[in-house]
Amino acid sequence: MKKTMLTFAAMALLTTPAFAMPAVIFSEIQTSPTGEVPGMPGVYFDAFERPYGSPNGEYWIMQADNNGLSGVDDMWLVGMGTDGSTATIVMQEGDNLPWDASVPVGAYSTTDRVMEIDNNGHFALSHNSAGDTANDDYVVKYDGTWSVIAREGDAMPFPFQTETYDSSVDTVNLLSDGTVTFSPNSEGTLDSATDDFLMKGTAYIAQEGITVPGGQQSTPAPYDSFDTSDYHWDYNGNNWIAQGDTEGNTTEDDIVVLNGSVIVQEGFSLPGQVDVVDDFDLEVFMGHAGDYMVRGENNDGHDWILLNGVIIAETGDEVPGSGGTEHYDDASFSDTWFTMQVNGLGDYVLGATTDNPDSEADAVLVFNGTEVIARQGDPVDVNGNGLFDDDAYIDTFNNDDGFLTDGLMYYFTATLQDGAGASLGQAYMYILIPEPATLVLITLGVLALARRRH
């Protein structure tokens, strides 16, 4: 493994975006200050879950693990921007539940992967406690005080008040007016074919076995199930997207629904394509202004991403800036796409694997389909001095673990390794994506850009 040194000893006029180096907020590197958990001297990060950002880009929330004793090592962290020192542990495994004094001491347990934070730093999430298994699942919100939105065993709103929330209450969204949306199932007189719901506060948006989504290309059929973690709203509560199945033919039953109408359906072609959509690996996302993304594949293995109904990238497309020598490819990752994010202005980031022959450089993050902003093998700034002097490089991007702000900050997690290929663990990082501009670079010395090469 060697490093390539690029030397500039004169004035260069460039009409390109400035180079952006990923900078670490937190890491699992115990020799770095970024590895220590805020407020817990001598305790270090052990894993990071997906981060979620507020619509205004000022706040983020994530779940993380530390290397402390089992049973007290899971945490929820709320932070501001790129400054890790602002992060606060708002709940830790083993703590009492602040929203329910009836639960035994130390009852904090696990949290659903999906959580949200608003422009005021308030947040909502779903949670499973270590209490009585008949009522240990919750949807909760914090807006200065804790409140329970739904709890397993509690009565559901009209007209299903004879039903109680069951063990699945998850996939939360927090709207600008404080409303929490989520996807529960129920227990009571309803049978198992009609007891799953999509909800917005106390309103029922859809019911399994009863609601028939519009726009189906096959014989219309009601929902058969809703996919966990694939129910999203925009911030103002005007638009929603969900993924699920219908009770129709099993070769045509997987669907993506936008505001109650099917926009992608298994067994039918997307506009401009011949082969039909497969039922595997569909994923959905909605930005806080209502822009939506869907990714999936066809029966022939061809992978694609939609933004607001338009295909923006497909397997085989050229990677921006490669001059036709590199293309999106699924040889090393069968889905091709491992992330997709859109901000409130319509800007987007997608992550994909490519046909780059270097297996240590064949995954990229691409901004607006025009610029690679990060690549597997890129150096990262661990110590915050802005230089490539930390012997730390991106190894693997984590699936869907990122968000893009309107200010063009992209936050994400990835595993790192050193120049010898030894793992350094995960890191939570950000990239400032510059606007295209004409830059005059004057260097009298040597500018060394280190990029690992085999």
What DSSP line would sit under 7-25, residue for residue?
Answer: ---SEEEEESPPP---EEE
At 126, the amino acid letter reads S
Residue 254 token pair = 């997987």
Torsion of CA 181, 187, 192, 193, to 10 degrees: -40
SS3 172: strand
> What is the pLDDT, as a whole number, of residue 136?
79
For the chain, which residues score pLDDT lower than 70?
1-19, 103-113, 130-131, 436-454
Q: State whether the Cα torsion 125-131-137-139 is positive or negative.
A: negative
Total count of residues recorded for the chain: 454
Residue 260 token pair = 């109650």
Concatenated DSSP letters for 385-402? Answer: SSSS-S--EEEEEEEEEE
449 in a structural domain: no
Residue 360 token pair = 């240590």
CA angle 158/164/167 to nearest 5° reads 135
Please name every residue paired with 2 in a beta bridge, in sequence order, or none if there are none. 453
343 in a structural domain: no
Q: What are the percentages of helix, strand and coil residues in the chain, rounded to 5?
A: 0, 50, 50
Q: How many CB atoms lie within 10 A of CB 370?
A: 10
CA angle 42/82/378 to nearest 5° reads 90
Which domain range does residue 196 map to? 94-282
269 in a structural domain: yes
> What is the pLDDT, as a whole number, of residue 113?
67
201 in a structural domain: yes
SS3 33: helix
> Do the beta carbons of residue 275 and residue 269 sit within 8 Å?
yes
> How many Å apart are CA 408 and CA 436, to the nearest integer?
12
> What is the pLDDT, as a whole number, of residue 111?
63
410 in a structural domain: no
Burial class (CB in 10 A: 0-12, 13-18, 19+), 113: middle
> How many Å apart are CA 89 and CA 62, to the nearest integer?
10
Closest by Cα among 422, 373, 419, 381 to 397: 373
> What is the pLDDT, as a whole number, of residue 154?
93
Instruction: Give the total number of structural domains in the chain.
Output: 1
327 in a structural domain: no
Query: Which tens digits make up the pLDDT trace of 380-427?
Result: 999 999 899 999 999 999 999 999 999 999 999 999 999 999 999 999
> What is the pLDDT, as a whole number, of residue 440?
34
> Do the beta carbons of residue 26 and residue 34 sit within 8 Å?
yes
Backbone angles phi, psi at 163, to 5 degrees: -90, 155
> How many Å apart are CA 378 and CA 376, to the nearest integer?
6
Helices within 143-257 (DSSP H only): none
Residue 97 token pair = 């539940």
CA 355 remoteness from chain centre: 24
> What is the pLDDT, as a whole number, of residue 453?
33
Burial class (CB in 10 A: 0-12, 13-18, 19+), 375: buried
> Do the beta carbons of residue 408 and residue 419 sit within 8 Å?
no
> How many Å apart are CA 317 and CA 308, to the nearest integer?
19
Can the peptide bond before residue 379 be classed as cis, meaning omega within 30 degrees of 0?
A: no
225: Cβ contacts below 8 Å, ≥ 6 apart: 196, 208, 244, 245
Q: How many CB atoms lie within 10 A of CB 269?
A: 14
> What is the pLDDT, as a whole number, of residue 15?
32
339 in a structural domain: no
CA 168 remoteness from chain centre: 21
At 136, the amino acid letter reads D
At 155, the amino acid letter reads A
> Do the beta carbons of residue 373 and residue 349 sit within 8 Å?
yes
pTM confidence score = 0.90
Closest by Cα among 307, 296, 204, 211 to 261: 211
333 in a structural domain: no
> What is the pLDDT, as a whole number, of residue 217?
96
> Do the beta carbons of residue 231 and residue 224 sit within 8 Å?
no
Residue with tokens 């921006």: 320
Closest by Cα among 121, 159, 156, 342 to 241: 342
